Amino acid sequence: MIDSIKHVAITGGTHGNELTGVYLIKHWLSSPNEVKRDSFSTELHFANPAANKEVRRYIDQDLNRQFNLQDLKNPELKGCEQQRAKSLNEILGPKEDPRVDFIIDMHTTTANMGMSIIFNANDPLIIGMAFYIKQKMPHANLFYEPSDRLQDNFLTSMGRLSGLLIEVGPIAQGLLNHEIYSETHTAVMHALDYIEKTNSGQTIALPKQMAGYQFIEKIPLPENTEGDITAMVHPNLQNKDYHAIKPGDPLFITLSGETIPYEGDTTVYGAFINEAAYYDQNIGLSFMEKVDIILADNDQ
Ligand SMILES: [Zn+2]
């Protein structure tokens, strides 16, 4: 059985230039009844105020890669986000035995990923929540990236249960767009409603399986020996997140116009295609595989 969730944290601005989550937190701080439910407490946090003040993704490091247990315990890591991660470990954690049960972290992407529900654990509660949101928002994409909670470096891994990352796009960095804001708002409401229903023992009719995508790997942009990129995402692939990429399909196009095809031998699916934030590491996209996500019985 899933034991009940008592403390939920909603976080926004983990990436300081993703304003949707920041302004939803501001909104809920002034309208707390929207996130209030009877069976658990909800707390609201600006995850990275320093980066948010400068409308930058991060000051020193990507905050959403700083939460694995070893790094949180490493006194040598003193960058802005490394210190912020340690503060959040005190506020929400400690990671080994967190005070907060569940974290919903709000993000946006410049890629054409629509509503993506990203989760890292094959746990009936999280899979059930993802299914529930997809039932209410059928256009949502289920994005599964398995990882062990203590090793996981995402903020969502700071709860007692591995949490939920809501990723909505496309939107440029540093912008608000009402459609994206409203979509994110709706998804968070469904997530909270789901916890409320499971806490109060309500039976929720959910399918046993739903189609989703499982992360395989990040694909670098072609670069020269100096580390300069020499090609960009191919126009046929641009905005085609969650579409099939078959062997031989165009992946990149060089500065002089030469197509670089996908040379793998299995069909994959793209996500985070031409994500602006990934240019700091010359990443062009992520490869995903299409999978059936299975909801195990709660009482197993
Ligand atoms: Zn983000």
Helix (H) or strand (E) holding 95: none
Cα–ligand 1 centroid distance for 32 (angstroms) = 24
pLDDT of 137 reads: 98
The stretch 55-69 carries a mean pLDDT of 97
What pLDDT shows up at residue 2?
Answer: 53
Please report the pLDDT score of residue 160 as a whole number: 96
Q: Say if 7-206 and 216-289 have the same CATH topology.
A: no
For residue 115 the two structure tokens come to 């509503």
Query: 245: closest CA among 266, 228, 231?
Result: 266
Contact 237, 270 (CB under 8 A): yes
> What does the mean pLDDT of the chain come to?
96
- Which residues neighbour 141 within 8 Å (Cβ) at sequence distance 6 or greater? 113, 114, 115, 116, 117, 212, 213, 242
What is the distance in A from the centroid of ligand 1 to the CA of 228?
Answer: 24
**What single DSSP character describes residue 166?**
E
Query: How far, in Å, is the centroid of ligand 1 from the Cα of 202?
Result: 33
Residue range 30-57: mean pLDDT, rounded: 98
The domain locations on the chain are 7-206, 216-289
Q: Does position 300 have pLDDT exceeding 70, yes or no?
A: no
Cα(289)–Cα(150) distance, rounded to whole angstroms? 25
Among 112, 130, 135, 107, residue whose Cα is nearest residue 120: 130
Mean pLDDT of 123-143: 97
Q: What percent of the chain has pLDDT over 70?
A: 98
* CA–centroid distance, residue 62 to ligand 1 (Å): 9
> Residues 13, 43: contact at Cβ < 8 Å?
no
Q: What is the pLDDT of residues 97-120, one digit of tens each?
A: 999 999 999 999 999 999 999 999
Residue 255 has pLDDT above 60, yes or no: yes
Query: 7-206: what fold?
Result: Aminopeptidase (3.40.630)
Q: pLDDT-based confidence at 4, cuts 50/70/90?
A: confident
Q: Which CATH architecture has domain 216-289?
A: Single Sheet (2.20)
pLDDT tens per residue across span 15-33 = 999 999 999 999 999 999 9
Rounded to the nearest whole angstrom, what is the distance from the C-alpha of residue 134 to the centroid of ligand 1?
21
Mean pLDDT of 252-267: 98
Q: What is the mean pLDDT of residues 285-293?
A: 98
